[in-house]
Amino acid sequence: MYAQATTIRVPLGTMAQMRQIIENEYLPNVSSQPGFVRAYFLEQTDDSDYAMLIVAWESQADVENYNRNNLLEASVQALTVRLPGVRIQRAGYVVRVVAGAEPDNTQETKPASVSTN
């Protein structure tokens, strides 16, 4: 598995707007792509202008195909266009260890698993 972590800093008081953009525009597009596993939008509790978007993919090749085949409007870079003043920083990671239950689409949980590659 491969994960992209994007740190997001929004202009003062615009986190609700960013959350709507992520939920209603970005995630519907990215979640329909081959290799998409899941995504998390994490809002920082001690600084309301910071968040992190974590998107998990089956492989790094899936991310590269998505980035190569989609327009700017469908990318994380589009966040800076949709909400001026947003700053983003993205990094990619190979997932080596997974622990805990992983939810599926039916809202039930699977047994906990631990994986080391």
The string of pLDDT tens digits covering residues 97-108 is 989 877 654 333
CB 41 within 8 A of CB 98: no
SS3 24: helix
Which residue ranges make up each domain of the chain?
A: 2-116
**What is the pLDDT, as a whole number, of residue 82?**
87
This prediction's pTM: 0.79
Question: What CATH code is assigned to 2-116?
Answer: 3.30.70.100
Q: Locate tokens 């994007």: which residue?
A: 6
Cβ–Cβ contacts within 10 Å for residue 104, how many? 10
Residue 116: which pLDDT band, with cuts at 50, 70 and 90?
very low
pLDDT value at 72 more than 90: no
Paired residues of 56 in beta bridges:
3, 38
pLDDT value at 112 more than 60: no
**What is the pLDDT, as a whole number, of residue 115?**
43
The residue among 78, 15, 84, 17 whose CA lies nearest residue 52 is 15
Cβ–Cβ contacts within 10 Å for residue 100, how many? 10
The string of pLDDT tens digits covering residues 25-66 is 999 989 999 999 999 999 999 999 999 999 999 999 998 888
Paired residues of 115 in beta bridges:
98
